[in-house]
């Protein structure tokens, strides 16, 4: 193991070792320092870094890069997750991405420099059922990123790394992960070669969640080993009180529990929890005292777990321990004040115990074949509907596929996007505002690499454009992305009873985008072949460009 004393440097090295080559971020403490390091030194680690116009764009670009086979991470602070939340709820549930994908969240529970203390643990654990790792010190960051990347690569799923200033702002980075010599290989091919449209919808969402349950079950042995605790946990006998410490408080709170001679277990994941280990402890205790910052998320989950198992242990939290504040930092002095009354008369605890390490990679062996068989069965049982034969959009998507040797097509929600999913006419549909940044991210993975003639195309609905695609376009302009944007203008939202929401008239919209520096064309599908010629002309030039297509 090599030693590194700077957290940002060891963070970058861990990302690179884990296969992350593309990082997008929107600034906000406590991730800014890490992101600024990547901005300055990313290339030395083989990492392309860019600031994004907002967090939705950051996460969506990272997702597109992972679809293209380039490991990616998006970084933001806890309130930034609100801006990325629509993306997170769709991108978070799918599997089979062709490279690792991480969301690195900086939490601020005090709050120390934020407008709110917002606790995102419940959000991750709710519908997207995300795996969330919670490193609590600079020393834990490297091993945590290594496992996050290995799991993300093996399942092709988004994994969250949630830390706060204790971890991301730490000076001492300590030991790097034992680290594979080369990043974990992905068992999944990149799009468009993958050959089907990746999408979430009413047709697929439950299917994705069933797959997630199966992936998390495979990871069970790794999750069950994701804790540290006092050696006394291994011993027989009854305990009066044991302390359960949430991942984000981790090492520093465990040190205080040890100083008071209290048996303790600190979990390393925020979701899911090592339930069997927690229950084993609960069986031996009269009281479990939970330490966590912000909302009583772990406290409630542990209480429910103990209740479901029919155990008698009492679960108490900060309030019962004597901290009436609903939020606020648990610094060492506060922890000492809360823990001192619990200290046993004859303390026995000294060192921290680690269960034997479980390598998560092998737990996911064979998963790719399982996921693919399940997908084919689901598609057969509930096939996607495509465009009717006479619909000109069928011809449009066929024409887009033919624009280059390799064409990747993103769409957004709407009738145009949904019907393009059948027969692999498009490659991906996620949320409103996803088409442009996903295409931009994919183009960073594929265009120009290995001499390929590849083209990224984002097909944007006329309602989606003002709702949420506009900022992604500005970001693509700012970064000179290789990207063809096609606005599919049917004059309304066909999806929602043809409602017309606030928008600029097409000519005004195009003039605005041209003023921003975007090269634009306007045409109409059905006017002979001229629209095909316009698309070919736009495809042949470079940089971000846009064809406004009246349908």
Ligand X SMILES: Cc1ncc(C[n+]2csc(CCOP(=O)(O)OP(=O)(O)O)c2C)c(N)n1
Where along the sequence are the contacts to ligand X (CB under 6 A)?
86, 413-416, 432, 461-464, 490, 493-496
Closest distance to Mg ion from the beta carbon of 466 (Å): 11
Interface region with Mg ion, contact rule CB under 5 A, candidates 168-176, 258-266, 449-457, 484-492: 484-492
Closest distance to Mg ion from the beta carbon of 492 (Å): 5
Q: 186 or 463, CB closer to ligand X?
A: 463
Say if residue 234 is preceded by a cis peptide, omega within 30 of 0.
Answer: no
Q: 292 or 462, CB closer to Mg ion?
A: 462
Q: Could you give the CA distance from residue 186 to residue 178 in angstroms, rounded to a whole number? A: 20
Q: Is the dihedral of CA 97, 102, 103, 109 positive or negative?
A: positive
- Left if phi > 0, otherwise alpha if psi is -120 to 50, otherwise beta: which for 285? beta
Q: 120 or 464, CB closer to ligand X?
A: 464
Q: Could you give the CA distance from residue 386 to residue 379 in angstroms, rounded to a whole number? A: 13
Which of ligand X, Mg ion, none does residue 106 bind (CB under 5 to 8 Å by kind)? Answer: none
Q: 202 or 333, CB closer to ligand X?
A: 202
Interface region with Mg ion, contact rule CB under 5 A, candidates 146-154, 224-232, 400-408, 486-494: 486-494
Out of 201, 490, 506, 532, the residue judged to bind Mg ion by CB under 5 A: 490
Q: Can you tell me whether residue 483 is helix, strand or coil?
A: strand
Q: Could you give the CA distance from residue 281 to residue 238 in angstroms, rounded to a whole number? A: 10
Q: Could you give the CA distance from residue 209 to residue 92 in angstroms, rounded to a whole number? A: 10
Buried b / exposed e over 365-375, threshold 16 CB at 10 Å, is eebbeebbeeb
Q: Counting contacts by CB under 5 A, is residue 250 touching Mg ion? A: no
Please give the structure tokens belonging to residue 321: 């321990």
Q: Counting contacts by CB under 5 A, is residue 461 touching Mg ion? A: yes
Q: 378 or 503, CB closer to Mg ion?
A: 503
Q: Find out whether 141 and 173 touch, Cβ atoms under 8 Å.
A: yes
Q: 33 or 490, CB closer to ligand X?
A: 490
Which of ligand X, Mg ion, none does residue 496 bind (CB under 5 to 8 Å by kind)? Answer: ligand X
Residue nearest to ligand X (CB): 461
Q: Counting contacts by CB under 5 A, is residue 301 touching Mg ion? A: no
Q: 165 or 458, CB closer to Mg ion?
A: 458
Closest distance to ligand X from the beta carbon of 468 (Å): 7
Which of Mg ion, ligand X, none does residue 415 bind (CB under 5 to 8 Å by kind)? Answer: ligand X
Closest distance to Mg ion from the beta carbon of 497 (Å): 12
Query: Residues 6 or more apart from 220 whose CB is under 8 A from it?
Result: none
Q: Could you give the CA distance from residue 551 to residue 450 in angstroms, rounded to a whole number? A: 36
Closest distance to ligand X from the beta carbon of 511 (Å): 20
Out of 299, 412, 462, 482, the residue judged to bind Mg ion by CB under 5 A: 462
Closest distance to ligand X from the beta carbon of 488 (Å): 6
Q: Find out whether 30 and 8 touch, Cβ atoms under 8 Å.
A: no
Q: Could you give the CA distance from residue 286 to residue 263 in angstroms, rounded to a whole number? A: 12
Burial (CB count within 10 angstroms: exposed 0-12, middle 13-18, buried 19+), residue 541: exposed
Binding site for Mg ion (CB under 5 A): 461-462, 490
């Amino acid at each position: 193991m090599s030693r590194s004393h700077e957290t940002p440097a060891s963070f970058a090295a861990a990302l690179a070792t884990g296969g992350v080559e593309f990082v997008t971020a929107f600034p906000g403490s406590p991730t800014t320092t890490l992101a600024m390091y990547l901005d300055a030194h990313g290339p030395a680690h083989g990492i392309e870094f860019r600031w994004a116009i907002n967090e939705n764009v950051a996460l969506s670009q990272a997702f597109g890069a992972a679809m293209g086979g380039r490991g990616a991470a998006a970084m933001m602070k806890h309130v930034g997750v609100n801006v990325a939340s629509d993306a997170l709820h769709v991108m978070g549930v799918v599997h089979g991405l062709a490279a690792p994908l991480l969301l690195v969240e900086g939490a601020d529970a005090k709050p120390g420099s934020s407008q709110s203390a917002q606790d995102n643990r419940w959000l991750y654990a709710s519908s997207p059922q995300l795996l969330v790792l919670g490193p609590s010190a600079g020393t834990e960051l490297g091993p945590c990123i290594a496992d996050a990347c290995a799991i993300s690569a093996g399942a092709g799923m988004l994994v969250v790394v949630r830390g706060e200033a204790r971890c991301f702002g730490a000076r001492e980075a300590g030991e790097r992960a034992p680290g594979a010599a080369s990043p974990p290989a992905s068992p999944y091919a990149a799009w468009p070669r993958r050959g089907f449209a990746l999408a979430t919808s009413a047709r697929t969402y439950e299917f994705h969640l069933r797959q997630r349950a199966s992936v998390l079950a495979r990871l069970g042995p790794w999750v069950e080993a994701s804790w540290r605790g006092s050696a006394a946990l291994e011993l027989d006998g009854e305990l009066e009180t044991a302390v359960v410490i949430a991942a984000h408080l981790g090492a520093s709170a465990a040190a205080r529990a040890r100083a008071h001679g209290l048996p303790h277990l600190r979990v390393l994941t925020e979701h899911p929890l090592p339930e069997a280990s927690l229950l084993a402890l609960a069986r031996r205790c009269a009281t479990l005292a939970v330490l966590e910052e912000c909302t009583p998320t772990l406290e409630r989950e542990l209480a429910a777990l103990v209740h479901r198992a029919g155990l008698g242990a009492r679960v108490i939290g900060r309030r019962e321990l004597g901290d009436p504040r609903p939020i606020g930092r648990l610094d060492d002095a506060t922890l000492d004040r809360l823990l001192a009354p619990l200290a046993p008369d004859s303390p026995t605890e000294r060192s921290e115990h680690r269960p034997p390490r479980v390598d998560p990679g092998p737990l996911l062996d064979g998963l790719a074949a399982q996921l693919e068989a399940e997908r084919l069965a689901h598609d057969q049982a509930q096939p996607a509907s495509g465009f009717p034969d006479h619909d000109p959009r069928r011809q449009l998507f066929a024409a887009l596929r033919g624009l280059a040797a390799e064409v990747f097509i993103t769409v957004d929600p709407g009738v145009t996007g949904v019907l393009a999913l059948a027969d692999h006419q498009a490659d991906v549909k996620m949320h409103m505002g996803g088409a442009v940044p996903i295409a931009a991210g994919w183009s960073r993975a594929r265009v120009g690499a290995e001499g390929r003639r590849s083209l990224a195309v984002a097909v944007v609905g006329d309602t989606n454009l003002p709702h949420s695609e506009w900022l992604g376009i500005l970001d693509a302009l700012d970064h000179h992305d290789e990207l063809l944007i096609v606005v599919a203008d049917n004059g309304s939202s066909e999806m929602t009873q043809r409602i017309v929401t606030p928008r600029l008239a097409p000519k005004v919209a195009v003039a605005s985008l041209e003023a921003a520096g975007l090269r634009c064309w306007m045409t109409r599908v059905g006017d002979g072949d001229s629209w095909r010629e316009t698309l070919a002309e736009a495809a042949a030039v470079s940089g971000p460009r846009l064809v406004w297509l009246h349908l």
